[in-house]
Amino acid sequence: MAGQLSIAKALNDALRKSLEKDPKTVLMGEDIGKLGGVFRITDGLQKDFGEDRVIDSPLAESGIMGTAIGLALRGYRPVVEIQFDGFVYPAFDQIVSQLAKMHARALGHVKMPVTVRIPYAGGIGAVEHHSESHEAYFAHTAGLRVVTPSNAHDAHWMLRQAIESDDPVIFLEPKRRYWDKGEVGATADLALHDARIVRPGTDATLIAYGPMVKVCLEAAAAAEEDGRRLEVVDLRSLSPVDFTTLEESVKRTGRAVVVHEAPVFLGMGAELAARLTERCFYHLEAPVLRVGGYYAPYPPSRVEEAFLPDLDRVLDAVDRALAY
């Protein structure tokens, strides 16, 4: 399978491989069968595996999620697609009150191998409820694993690892990166919850995940023209967090900037900044800074570029960190 694939195609191939590997794996979601999903992530799978394993569900997210929990209790391995990020809220009670707690409630005797795929974040010119970054809600919920890839290789292998997990996994897919292409290796090179240093550097650490990794790589390339070497860490997993990799990087560079598309207020960056300050205090040359969306509802598509963090906002934070 090694070769250049888009993230969308890498995800499709991961689902195909998972369906082939385990007859108990089933896919559920709105329009995922005959249509192949609104982003065509499940294209061709119902044709090849049948309507009993690639199930076109009603428009009822709470029902989809509850059914997946029931299937997991019966020994199946459901993979649920929430069509758009903002549509997950009707299923939120099922996720946080049932899916996340069932294993603990049963004192470990019940497994919940459910993967919840959610296209998330903005940048595609969509209408309201189609560009949400709600990862902090799920990362705050004990009992859920929360991951997000930024490239085709990780999209493929992290999805396969998520489906094979016996714990519930919220799998966040950066929808505006679906068409970005990259090399997909023949094997997974990291565990599901390991962070990845995607660009080494010495002057400051940029920590990002999902759609913002590409922005940080562009910022690091621009900074290098001014003689600044920025290290870029792709977090990949939001719960649990690979703090070991983050700490090692920040102790080397002495400065850190956390970048995400979600609002800065109480976002993932708040926990990361607090934890890194606690663990790296005597190595820091500046406060851990955060770059993110504004604390406001996601705007209409014609002005979303002003809302989304970009290269200039990242470099401005780097300038402030280096000024200390």
253-267 per-position pLDDT tens digit: 999 999 999 999 999
Per-residue pLDDT tens over the stretch 309-324: 999 999 999 999 999 9
For 230-250, the DSSP string reads EEEEE--EEES--HHHHHHHH
pLDDT at 176: 95
Residue range 229-238: average pLDDT? 98
209: pLDDT strictly greater than 80: yes
DSSP sequence for 133-192: --HHHHHTSTT-EEE---SHHHHHHHHHHHHH-SS-EEEEEEGGGTT-EEEE-SS--S-T
130 is catalytic: yes
Residue type, 51: E
- Per-residue burial over 40-54, b = 16 or more CB atoms within 10 Å of its CB, e = otherwise: ebbbebbeebeeebb
pLDDT exceeds cutoff 90 at 165: yes
Do you know the residue count of the chain?
A: 324
**Which pLDDT score is estimated for 94?**
97
What is the average pLDDT across 239-252?
98
Share of the chain above pLDDT 70, in %: 99
CB atoms within 10 A of CB 258: 28
Asked if residue 50 has pLDDT above 70, the reply is: yes
Rounded to two decimals, the pTM is 0.96
| Active-site choice (109, 129, 130, 283) | 130
By three-state DSSP, how is residue 206 classified? strand
pLDDT of 1 > 60? The answer is no
Residues 121-137 pLDDT 10s: 998 988 888 999 999 99
**DSSP state, 300?**
P
Q: How far is CA 322 from CA 26, 221, 228, 290, in A?
A: 50, 17, 10, 14
Domains in the chain, CATH or no CATH each = 4-183 (3.40.50.970), 196-323 (3.40.50.920)
Q: How much is the average pLDDT of 139-149?
A: 98
- As a whole number, mean pLDDT of residues 33-41 equals 96
Secondary element (H or E) of residue 9: helix 7-21
The reported pLDDT for the residue numbered 127 is: 87
pLDDT of residue 2: 58
Coil, helix or strand at residue 110: coil
Mean pLDDT to the nearest integer, 260-287: 97
Q: Is 231's pLDDT higher than 90?
A: yes
Distance between CA atoms of residues 164 and 256, nearest Å: 34
pLDDT score for 3: 73
For position 194, what pLDDT does the model report? 98
**Each residue's pLDDT tens digit, 78-131:** 999 999 999 999 999 999 999 999 999 999 999 999 999 999 999 898 888 899
Angle at 28 between CA 26 and CA 30, to 5 degrees: 160
Is the pLDDT at 187 greater than 90? The verdict is yes
